[in-house]
Amino acid sequence: MVKFILLIPLNYNDGLEVPEEIFEGMLDEIFSLAEGFTVLPKVRGAYLMADGSKQVDWSSPIWITLEESMIDALKELVGSFAERLGQESMYLERTEST
């Protein structure tokens, strides 16, 4: 099993809050792929946008473990989240754990 940490933004780049049903729908999609997840308390971070501006976000860290064979599917899923949320990129970290 491989562990990943995904940060899901809680607001769109214009500051509007991501509706709870959209966030929960993304969690449902993660569950369908990985058969489980852990949601951690929200975190704050900053990102340099392509236009040079600083974007400060609150995000929800999600821990995911899945089989090595599912990694490409996870990357595709995260890409679809980025598109739906209007993100230039999203944080996805592969970690080493047992």
Q: Which pLDDT tens digit goes with each residue over 28-77?
A: 999 999 999 999 999 999 999 899 999 999 999 999 999 999 999 999 99
Q: What sections of the chain are H helices per DSSP? A: 20-34, 71-85
Q: How far apart are CA 61 and CA 80, in angstroms?
A: 17
Q: How far apart are CA 23 and CA 42, in angstroms?
A: 13
**Pair 89, 58: CB distance under 8 Å:** no
The pTM is what? 0.91
